[in-house]
Structure 1
Amino acid sequence: MKNRGFTLIELLITIAIIGILAGVAYPSYMQYVLKSKRSEAQSALLDLANRQEMYYLDHHKYAVNLNTELGLSANPFITDNGYYSIATSSAKATEDFTLTATAISTQAADTDCATLSITHELAKSATNTTCWK
């Protein structure tokens, strides 16, 4: 009579292979998740830059306060999912602005692209040159 089943060695080899695959796949997956959440900051920065330009057309200066002048919920503004905090700065409100998104919460693990910025000239900058791609 022959037993049907797996030997202990076969089970250990299978578990080892699964462990190796998971060890390789998980870090890649986490980098993908961080990169996908980065799009929230990019779209929010572009939206706020457009709002700044509309504000400039009406008031002949850029907004210094995001909540009172642009009608957002707070200054600094926290994005919808809470992954980024966006603040504005300006040397002269009549001439320029820079919007900066800083990673917070779980997105703070994205050290490669911890901050993203956009200026009144739509010049995009970040911690790493590939962050806006």
Structure 2
Amino acid sequence: MNFRAMRPCHPPRRPTGFTLVEMLTTLALLGMLAAVAYPSYATHLHRAHRADARAALMDAAFFMQRHYAAHHRYDTGDASAPLVSLPAPLNQSPRQGPAHYAISVTQADAGSYTLSATPVTTGPMAHDPCGSLTLNQHHTRGITGTTVNVAQCWR
């Protein structure tokens, strides 16, 4: 018996790489993961941008309280331009980089004021269901959106 003739000359080849079925299965799993993860990520970003706007409104409210302490009124006292101008760092949220919200004094008189954080039309919050966030001298929170409630937007 000749053992040399029975033994193959080359060792058997092991397949390398991925099969088409393995590749399609992997792509399908990645697609399902992305379909679940992206909306969650977008919701998280919107909540983070709203949190920045709420913090900016609170900073603007502190500015208005300091203005009241110095002038004994929330407005300027000038009938032609009654609204107080916020300092430059308080005009937008976030303070640095592209603005997602414009912060402004929308109403002011001797004893009251209303601050507003309005989404920038070209920003990521332009179609936020909460709309504009508002805050007054009593720290009463409000929104202009109608599809959600105030507590949901201010949490």
Category of TM-score, reference length = shorter chain: 0.7 to 0.9
Which among 84, 89, 100 is matched to residue 65 of structure 1? 84
- Residue 103 of structure 1 deviates from its aligned partner by 1.3
Higher alpha-carbon deviation: 15-24 or 108-117 = 108-117
For structure 1, the residue ranges without an aligned partner over 5 or more in a row are none
- Residue 108 of structure 1 deviates from its aligned partner by 2.4
Using the size of structure 2 for normalisation, the TM-score is 0.73
Matches within 5 A, 1:41-120: 41-63=53-75, 64-67=83-86, 72-73=87-88, 77-79=91-93, 80-81=95-96, 82-90=99-107, 93-104=109-120, 105-120=122-137
Which among 125, 129, 133 is matched to residue 142 of structure 2? 125
> Residue 29 and residue 110 in structure 1: after superposition, are their counterparts in 2 closer, same or farther (change >3 A)?
farther
Higher alpha-carbon deviation: 104-113 or 80-89 = 104-113
Contact 1:87 / 1:100 at 8 angstroms: preserved in 2? yes
For structure 2, the residue ranges without an aligned partner over 5 or more in a row are 1-11, 76-82
**Which AA in structure 1 matches 2:103?**
I
Aligned length: 127
Q: What percentage of aligned pairs have identical amino acids?
A: 30
Contact 2:135 / 2:141 at 8 angstroms: preserved in 1? yes
> Distance between the aligned counterparts of 1:66 and 1:108, measured in 2?
24
Higher alpha-carbon deviation: 81-90 or 29-38 = 81-90
> Residue 33 and residue 110 in structure 1: after superposition, are their counterparts in 2 closer, same or farther (change >3 A)?
farther
- Residue 48 of structure 1 deviates from its aligned partner by 0.9
> Distance between the aligned counterparts of 2:101 and 2:41, measured in 1?
20
What stretches of structure 1 move > 3 A for 4+ residues in a row? Answer: none
Which among 18, 23, 39 is matched to residue 27 of structure 1? 39
> Distance between the aligned counterparts of 1:65 and 1:9, measured in 2?
66
> Distance between the aligned counterparts of 1:15 and 1:107, measured in 2?
29
CA deviation map 1:61-112 (0-9, x unaligned): 1032224xxxx128x922314111011122x511210000011143324512
> Distance between the aligned counterparts of 1:23 and 1:109, measured in 2?
23
**Which AA in structure 1 matches 2:110?**
T
CA deviation map 1:42-74 (0-9, x unaligned): 11111111111111122111032224xxxx128
Between structure 1 and structure 2, the one with the greater Rg is 2
Contact 1:101 / 1:116 at 8 angstroms: preserved in 2? yes
